[in-house]
Chains A and B, each alone.
Chain A
Amino acid sequence: MLELKTLSHRYPNADAPALVDVSLTVPRGCVLGLLGPNGAGKTTLISHLSGALAVQSGEILIDGQPLQQVRAKAPTRIAVAPQEQAFYPMLTVAENLAVFAAAGRLSGPRKKERIEACTQFAQLEQFAGVRAERLSGGLKRRLNLAIALLPEPELMLFDEPTVGVDPQSRAFILDAIRSLAQQGAAVIYASHYMEEIEAIADRVAILDRGHVLREGSLDGLLSKSAMLLTLAADGLDAGMLSRFGTVEQGGAHWRIHLNAGSGPAPVLAALEAAGIEVRHAEFGRHDLEQLFMALTHRSLRD
């Protein structure tokens, strides 16, 4: 469905490029989780797909055709639910849906049918006559979602769609997006919430400073990542542990990203030989956040 080939972009007067040789594919029925901290390039990538930014270098293809051609012929095949509440606060829910339905060239019974379907999908029926500015944060996000779905797009882009919403609305939005992919749409879901990406994505791309650091299925990424040994003991030092992998010293805990092929046994044996008593030991694969930190040496919330 969507294919990005070595896409690069630099904003005028910017010191560093916003995207560097980004290559990704998103088939139909798949949710691609785009994971990265603020400033990683997620919004720049989405702006390209929404048509707000022109391609400077590289290619964006939809079913093998350049994005620009597809947008010119059928702009509503691709929909973006932006980070902002991109609707009219002074209009009611129904009026907002009517404006954007008309803008998406829907008319007559089809328009009515789509407005009803999207209102129902976002569970906004009882708020149809309420002005958007009077909705709660969660309901505003749902309206944002409903507007994006009006023209029945084949590719949907969600940019941080759950920022500032209550847990109930967040769960609703995630379920709704998941169901869209199950119905055959290709979905890109950009977020810096690792738990959301883990919950919703079939594939994950980790983006940092404009580069795709890893891309693949969630299980695949985690299984390929290094093993992590977390230790708490008196008398530990970096010199002693560094021969087993990359060492990070936390407050009470030391974390060792073990070298490929290594397990925890040699580390524990070495400590025992040195007479160090281990109070706590934990061993396992990275989770997504740990993987991200191991790759970038930064927290996702930076």
Chain B
Amino acid sequence: MLLALIKKELLALVRDMHGLAALFLMPMVFIVLMSLTLKDIYRPPLAELNYAIDMRDMATPAQWLKQLWQRNHGAPQPLGNDWQARLRNGSLKYVIVMEPGLSQELESAALSTRAYIHLLTEPGIDANLFNALRAELIGASGELKARLALAVPGTASPAPEASIEAMVRAERFSTAGPRPTSVQQNVPAWLVFGMFFVVASLSSLFVQERSSGALGRLQGLGVSRSMLLMSKALPYLGVNALQAVLMLAAGIWFMPLIGGDALSLAGIHWGALLLSLAAVSLAAVSLSLALACLVRSHAQAATIGPMVNVLMAAAGGIMVPKFVMPGFMQRLVEISPMNWGLEALLTVLLRGGGVADALPQIGRLAVFAALMFLLAVFLFRRRAS
């Protein structure tokens, strides 16, 4: 009997094009779009931005600073008379203005008290890029000023690749696991989102069954409530598993084909990944059952499910990564089950974590799943009595 009821659920799902699109196509499109859009979020394209230099000081130290900048950023664009208009419309990303007196200031042993270098950027430049350019410019001019102050006539000049920058090496730390990329961030995010979207399909069929009398007929034939809930939960756990396989495969094989980074599963803890996915799936299916038992009409099923999903995603770090949120929002996202799922997957896929590392999130998801399942049973009993 259970198999026949599961087959019925799957046939209904396969014949619902909108439901299939929401479950499989939508997360796939999000993964592709968001991964490509945010491709450079972990690797800002500092070296590839179009820029120009306005040399109002032609003395040698200012020329040295120009050479130093070119070493990392390539040759500047010709300045031209219309540089301000080009800067405003974004065809030039930034212009460095070297004011008269800069060379003298670079040679002076004293620290500066006024600005000789102006960094002018296009209005819409990303705040991270703006800060990185500013910091690099401060570093380059500081290094040049130090070299000039410390130069001893007659001694050998430093090696060409030598710089203060070489003294500092920065990297994202993880003991194991792959390199962070937008794909590595976006695949888990939109996979969690897609898995929770079973809410819409499951509750929609449930309402249809209830309003048509098919559910009453099944109960009239002696099918128990637990059997009915199980026949709904099991196929959607399978759907979640298929979603996970497809989304991970898309990250690994499809993303590189269209110019994105590849998702890497090298060195990850497979047990932790499977456990995290299972916990997300249980939470998603239990929430779906509870909502399906709660809603009373097709209209409610069609709006409440997706609305809950989008709200959980917005407040759960799916649409906007948690690390770019202000402090109080970062604490707020921790109430969203989608965030628990996302953090568990990021722990495994991005931070090289194992079962113990992901356990706090997995535990929360498991408790949430149990509570939602109990709520579903309670609502189902109340509706039937």
Binding site for B on A (CB under 8 A): 50-52, 54, 71, 75-76, 78-80, 82-91, 95, 98-105, 131, 147, 151
Contacts and interface: CB of A to CB of B under 8 A. Distances in A.
Interface stretch (B170-178, B220-228, B338-346): B220-228
Given A85-B212, A90-B12, A102 B1 contact: yes
Nearest to A133: B15
Given A90-B12, A91-B8, A91-B11, A100 B221 contact: yes
Contacts of B217: 80, 82, 86-87, 100, 147
A90 B213 contact: no
Contact of A52 (B7, B16, B208, B216): B216
A80 B4 contact: no
Given A91-B11, A103-B5, 14 more contacts: A50-B220, A51-B219, A52-B384, A71-B222, A75-B221, A76-B222, A85-B212, A87-B217, A90-B12, A90-B15, A102-B1, A103-B4, A105-B221, A151-B221
Nearest to A82: B213
Contacts of B112: none
B214 interface: yes
B15 A104 contact: no
A90 B11 contact: yes
B155 interface: no
A46 B221 CA distance: 15
Interface string B1-30: 101110110011001100000000000000
B243 to A, nearest CB: 21
B218 interface: yes
B60 interface: no
B220 A75 contact: yes
B11 A95 contact: yes
A99 B8 contact: yes
B131 interface: no
B157 interface: no
Nearest to A101: B4
Residue among B214, B216, B223 with the highest chain A CB neighbour number at 10 A: B214
- Which of B15, B214, B218, B221 has the most A CB atoms < 10 Å from its CB? B221
A131 B11 CA distance: 11
Nearest to A74: B222
B113 interface: no
A100 B11 CA distance: 15
A103 B213 contact: no
B385 interface: yes
Contact of A103 (B212, B221, B385): B221
B220 A51 contact: yes
Nearest to A85: B212
A52 B8 contact: no
Contacts of B8: 88, 91, 95, 99
B11 A87 contact: no
| CB-based closest 7 A-B pairs | A75-B222, A102-B4, A86-B213, A84-B213, A82-B213, A86-B217, A90-B15
23 contacts: A75-B220, A75-B221, A75-B222, A80-B220, A82-B213, A84-B211, A84-B212, A84-B213, A85-B212, A86-B214, A87-B214, A88-B8, A89-B208, A98-B4, A99-B4, A100-B217, A100-B218, A103-B4, A103-B5, A103-B218, A103-B223, A104-B222, A147-B217
A100 B209 CA distance: 13
A52 B219 contact: yes
Nearest to A150: B221
B346 to A, nearest CB: 38
B192 to A, nearest CB: 28
Contacts of A76: 221-222
A71 B221 CA distance: 9
Name which of A82, A85, A86, A95 has the most chain B CB atoms within 10 A of its CB: A86
Interface string B210-247: 01111011111111000000000000000000000000
A288 B334 CA distance: 69
A80 B218 CA distance: 11
Contacts of B219: 51-52
B296 to A, nearest CB: 16
A43 B213 CA distance: 13
Given A52-B220, A91-B12, A86 B212 contact: yes
Contacts of B16: 90
Q: Of B211, B222, B223, which is in contact with the most chain A CB atoms at under 10 Å from its CB?
A: B222
B38 to A, nearest CB: 38
A91 B219 CA distance: 19
A223 to B, nearest CB: 37
A203 B7 CA distance: 42
A23 B309 CA distance: 51
A51 B223 CA distance: 12
A164 to B, nearest CB: 15
Nearest to B384: A52
Contacts of A98: 4
B211 to A, nearest CB: 8
Nearest to B214: A86
Contacts of B11: 90-91, 95
B385 A54 contact: yes
A98 B11 CA distance: 13
A88 B4 CA distance: 13
A103 B217 CA distance: 9
B4 A104 contact: no
A52 B16 CA distance: 29
A159 to B, nearest CB: 9
Contacts of A147: 217
A88 to B, nearest CB: 6
A13 to B, nearest CB: 15
Nearest to B12: A90
A99 to B, nearest CB: 5
Contact of B214 (A51, A88, A102): A88
Nearest to A83: B213
Nearest to A131: B15
A179 to B, nearest CB: 22
Contact of A79 (B213, B216, B220): B220
